């Protein structure tokens, strides 16, 4: 039997909610979306949530609504899904990459400071909460304040994570989330912007709906980035179950860490004090990745390599620069299944296969 790297849970209640939307005929943005926005704002502890068609459209809209554009530079990580940088480019700005911390894989504040000291065009820091672990936002916020730039969160992978008890999504000027099927909660496709900034929220609401201020009054050039009621109906049920799922992910991660930490050649993920990891991915560093990949494949156990190539090394970018810690991560990281649909037997199989592979069959 195959053990998948991700396996989204769609409850019967969510299916019934979708059916009610279909029967109503109100398929596009409407009451379900509005309710989902209110509930997500409450969950993240912010004043405003704006639902969008995808995590990427949320990220793009957030940056454009913040006024980021031509002539601006935004510091972000080279070690992420390419959407983190693409959204900066789509807003008209330039992504500038700072290296990462070798233990957390998130932005290294010292590297961010080095970039800020070298450039005068930086207007913002875009921190990615990679794998579900919050970036060091307190340090980054202090640096942002020192250099008079804004701090934004790419929380696409971090639903349910916290810093000192405060949910991600409320730790910067604004944040964006993704509801892609592999995420901790899903709407199929979909995204969300969270912020306490009233003007940013107003501009974002206009941008996602063709720049519309009234039915046929368009105050800016916008996009069709709206979420559908069908998606929101799924999302509302997912959000209600999210705390249960995150807790299970954390329990499974603890079990994996306990079993794998003593194995030579594997470094389990760490969670710094004050941060709560929501384990979108359980990512280890492996000295001999090919051996473990071969063993997992033979046992029909899903895995992921997130990410095998830095964003600035992609053909779409081909930036010059040195990011040695991030480059080393591309050659050693591997993600194991940790989703809430796993059984205890699945976990034991994953552990047994990893232990056998890395200990040479002993």
CATH number for the domain spanning 343: value is: 3.90.1150.10
Residue 275 and residue 186 share a domain:
no
Residue 265 and residue 233 share a domain:
no
Q: How does pLDDT run across 332-355, given as a tens digit for each residue? A: 999 999 999 999 999 999 999 999
Q: Is residue 230 part of a domain?
A: yes
**Residue 39 and residue 50 in contact, taking contact as beta carbons nearer than 8 Å:** no
Q: How does pLDDT run across 138-185, given as a tens digit for each residue? A: 999 999 999 999 999 999 999 999 999 999 999 999 999 999 999 999
Beta bridge mates, 154: 128, 176
Res. 132: pLDDT tops 60:
yes
Cα–Cα distance for residue pair 266/269, rounded to 1 Å: 10
Residue 272 and residue 198 share a domain:
no
**Residue 6 and residue 339 in contact, taking contact as beta carbons nearer than 8 Å:** yes
Indicate the range of 18-32, 111-125, 145-159, 274-288 predicted with least confidence.
Answer: 18-32
**Residue 150 and residue 175 in contact, taking contact as beta carbons nearer than 8 Å:** no
Q: Is residue 148 part of a domain?
A: yes
Res. 361: pLDDT tops 60:
no
| pLDDT (mean) for 199-205 | 98
State the pLDDT confidence band at 27, using cuts at 50, 70 and 90.
Answer: confident
Residue 166 and residue 54 share a domain:
yes
What pTM was estimated for this model as a whole? 0.96
pLDDT recorded at residue 362? 41
State the pLDDT confidence band at 269, using cuts at 50, 70 and 90.
Answer: very high
pLDDT recorded at residue 26? 79
| pLDDT (mean) for 44-65 | 98
Cα angle 60, 174, 228 (rounded to 5 degrees) comes to 55
Long-range contacts of 236-241 (CB under 8 A, 24+ apart): 236/17, 236/32, 236/35, 236/36, 236/39, 237/11, 237/13, 237/14, 237/17, 238/14, 238/179, 238/185, 238/186, 238/187, 239/36, 239/39, 239/40, 239/43, 239/185, 241/9, 241/11, 241/185
Q: Is residue 5 part of a domain?
A: no
Residue 115 and residue 34 share a domain:
yes
DSSP class of 101 = -
Q: Is residue 7 part of a domain?
A: no
**136 vs 29, residue with greater confidence:** 136
Residue 271 and residue 222 share a domain:
no
Phi, psi for 52 (deg, rounded to 5): -135, 180
Q: What percentage of the chain has pLDDT greater than the value 90?
A: 93
Residue 265 and residue 345 share a domain:
yes
State the pLDDT confidence band at 30, using cuts at 50, 70 and 90.
Answer: confident
pLDDT recorded at residue 216? 87
Q: What percentage of the chain has pLDDT greater than the value 70?
A: 99
Name every residue whose Cβ is closer than 8 Å to that of residue 254 and which is 6 or more positions away in sequence: none
Residue 285 and residue 138 share a domain:
no
Residue 246 and residue 217 share a domain:
no
pLDDT recorded at residue 66? 98
Q: How does pLDDT run across 232-262, given as a tens digit for each residue? A: 999 999 999 999 999 999 999 999 999 999 8
| Cα-only R_g, the chain | 20
Res. 208: pLDDT tops 50:
yes
Residue 344 and residue 264 share a domain:
yes
Residue 339 and residue 256 share a domain:
yes
Res. 128: pLDDT tops 70:
yes
pLDDT recorded at residue 35? 97
**Residue 137 and residue 109 in contact, taking contact as beta carbons nearer than 8 Å:** no
Nearest to 333 by CA among 305, 361, 355: 305
Q: Is residue 23 part of a domain?
A: yes
The tokens 């972000």 sit on which residue?
Answer: 76
Range of the domain at 273: 242-358
Residue 166 and residue 280 share a domain:
no
Integer CA distances (angstroms), 147 to 129, 137, 270, in order: 22, 15, 30
The structural domain count of the chain equals 2
Q: Is residue 2 part of a domain?
A: no
Integer CA distances (angstroms), 61 to 46, 84, 95, in order: 17, 12, 16
State the pLDDT confidence band at 215, using cuts at 50, 70 and 90.
Answer: confident
Domain boundary among 237, 253, 288: 237
**Residue 131 and residue 279 in contact, taking contact as beta carbons nearer than 8 Å:** yes
Q: Is residue 201 part of a domain?
A: yes
CATH for 73: 3.40.640.10
Q: Is residue 4 part of a domain?
A: no
């Amino acid at each position: 039997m195959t053990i998948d790297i991700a396996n989204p849970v769609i409850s019967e209640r969510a299916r019934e909610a979708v059916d009610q939307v279909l029967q109503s005929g109100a398929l596009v943005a409407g009451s379900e979306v509005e309710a989902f926005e209110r509930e997500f704002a409450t969950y993240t502890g912010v004043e405003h949530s704006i639902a969008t068609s995808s995590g990427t459209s949320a990220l793009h809209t957030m940056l454009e609504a913040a006024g980021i554009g031509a002539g601006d530079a935004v510091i972000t990580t080279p070690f992420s899904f390419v959407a983190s940088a693409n959204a900066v480019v789509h807003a008209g700005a330039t992504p500038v990459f700072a290296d990462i911390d070798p233990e957390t894989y998130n932005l290294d504040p010292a590297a961010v400071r080095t970039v800020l000291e070298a450039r005068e065009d930086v207007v913002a820091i875009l921190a990615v909460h990679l794998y579900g672990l919050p970036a060091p936002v307190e340090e980054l916020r202090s640096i942002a304040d020192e250099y008079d730039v804004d701090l934004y969160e790419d929380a696409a992978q971090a639903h349910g994570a916290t810093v000192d008890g405060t949910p991600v999504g409320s730790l910067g000027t604004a944040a964006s989330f993704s509801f892609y099927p592999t995420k901790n909660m899903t709407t199929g496709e979909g995204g969300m912007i969270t912020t306490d900034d009233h003007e940013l929220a107003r501009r974002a609401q206009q941008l996602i709906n063709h720049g519309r201020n009234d039915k046929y009054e368009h105050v800016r050039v916008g996009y069709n980035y709206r979420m559908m009621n069908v998606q929101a109906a799924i999302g509302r049920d997912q959000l209600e179950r999210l705390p249960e799922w995150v807790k299970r992910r954390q329990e499974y991660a603890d079990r994996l860490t306990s079993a794998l930490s003593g194995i030579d050649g594997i470094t389990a993920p760490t969670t710094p004090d004050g941060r709560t990891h929501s384990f979108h991915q359980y990512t280890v560093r492996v000295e001999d990745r090919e051996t473990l990949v071969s063993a997992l494949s033979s046992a029909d156990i899903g895995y992921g390599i997130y990410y095998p190539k830095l964003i600035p090394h992609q053909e779409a970018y081909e930036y010059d620069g040195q990011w040695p810690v991030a480059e080393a991560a591309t050659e050693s990281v591997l993600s194991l299944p940790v989703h809430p649909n796993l059984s205890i037997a699945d976990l034991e199989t994953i552990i047994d296969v990893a232990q056998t592979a890395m200990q040479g069959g002993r």
